[in-house]
Amino acid sequence: MIIRQAAERVVLVRPGPGLLDAAVVAGLDVWVVSDTGAWPPGAEPPSGLPPQRLLRADFDDPAALRSLLTRTVAEHGIGHVLYLAGDLERGLASGVSAAAEDVLRELSADPGRPAGRLPDAVTVRRILNQSRTSAVRAEEAGSVAEACALAEDFPLPVVIKSADKSGCWWTVPVHDRSGLDQWAQQAVTARHSAPYLVEELLTGARFRVDTLTVDGMHLVAAITPEGNAAPLPDREQAGIRATVRALLDLAGYERGTTRTDVLVGARGSRIAAATEPDRERHGNGRSRASVTSGIERGTDR
């Protein structure tokens, strides 16, 4: 999440090493709010950063956290407050990260400029395919019946993406005809609306890419292996960073927090999904908190 005022001074809230390093490398003017009074494990204080920029907060006291953030932003003319939900979640008692997130969401109101938003899943895929950035086979359908016919033509297995009544997008892997029938029934029952997006099912090692964007500058805070994926060498990580940044540039994304799921396989690395964590829902019938994936866990994409 980003709280914006005017400048490229930033407060990082309980950052992991990835977010801290990304902000410093990007040349941002950094303050840190921590619940330990120390730098993140594995991270060293950036050279020249005054000790008074390391602020301690009680994350069990959202009111005190809000007061500290408000005071710090006002006193120093800070333009942004950044955090990754995953950094807030690790090591905190149940519900504490959600409370801190609520406090930051209240502070994020900026009537002078609407928050940046990624396009929906259909538009994201159009952007990627038209630019030939991480292109995959994908077809749009205007009805559940048409989506089922397209899925069989691909052929199965496929992935189907659709939006529910609230506008949340669901991603469902469909491996066989029985699964397709089940998807169709659920889509009708839940009143999912067109367009429906049918995509080839990608396979390979899955990586989660957490990104924060400040005034069109995309900070890749972490590339995290998921499941049995092994960490990538630097060259391949650089390629993933470039691909994710290209998508955000093509989408005109100016500010916010995004999560991109990238699959690395025999055909190279390709983007499976790109979402803003606070808008995510996915195809196991449950709503996900902002720290989790926009695609179903445990499935190949």
Please report, for the domain that includes residue 195, its CATH number. Answer: 3.30.1490.20
- Residue-wise pLDDT for 208-240, tens only, equals 999 888 878 898 988 999 999 999 999 999 999
| Residue in the block written with tokens 């429906």 | 196
Asked if the structure places residue 173 within a domain, the reply is: yes
- Domain span including residue 176: 137-200
Asked if the structure places residue 91 within a domain, the reply is: yes
Q: Which two tokens stand for residue 207?
A: 């990586």
Q: How far apart (Å, rounded) are the C-alpha atoms in residues 177 and 175? A: 7
86 in the same domain as 13: yes
Phi first, then psi: what are they for 113, rounded to 5°? -155, 125
Q: How many CB atoms lie within 10 A of CB 22?
A: 23
Asked if the structure places residue 300 within a domain, the reply is: no
Asked if the structure places residue 291 within a domain, the reply is: no
| CA 28, chain centre distance (Å) | 21
Asked if the structure places residue 51 within a domain, the reply is: yes
With a threshold of 0.75, does the pTM exceed it? Answer: no
Question: What local confidence, expressed as pLDDT, does residue 113 receive?
Answer: 41
66 in the same domain as 18: yes
172 in the same domain as 102: no
- Residue-wise pLDDT for 262-278, tens only, equals 999 988 899 999 988 65
Asked if the structure places residue 205 within a domain, the reply is: no
Query: Would you place residue 287 in the very low, low, confident or very high pLDDT band (cuts 50, 70, 90)?
Result: very low
Please report, for the domain that includes residue 22, its CATH number. Answer: 3.40.50.720
Q: Which two tokens stand for residue 258?
A: 């995004």
Asked if the structure places residue 299 within a domain, the reply is: no
Please state the domain count of the chain. 2
Query: Would you place residue 51 in the very low, low, confident or very high pLDDT band (cuts 50, 70, 90)?
Result: confident
Q: Which two tokens stand for residue 102?
A: 């609520």
Asked if the structure places residue 150 within a domain, the reply is: yes
Asked which of 107, 129, 159 is the last residue of a domain, the reply is 107
- Residue-wise pLDDT for 102-125, tens only, equals 555 555 554 444 446 789 999 999
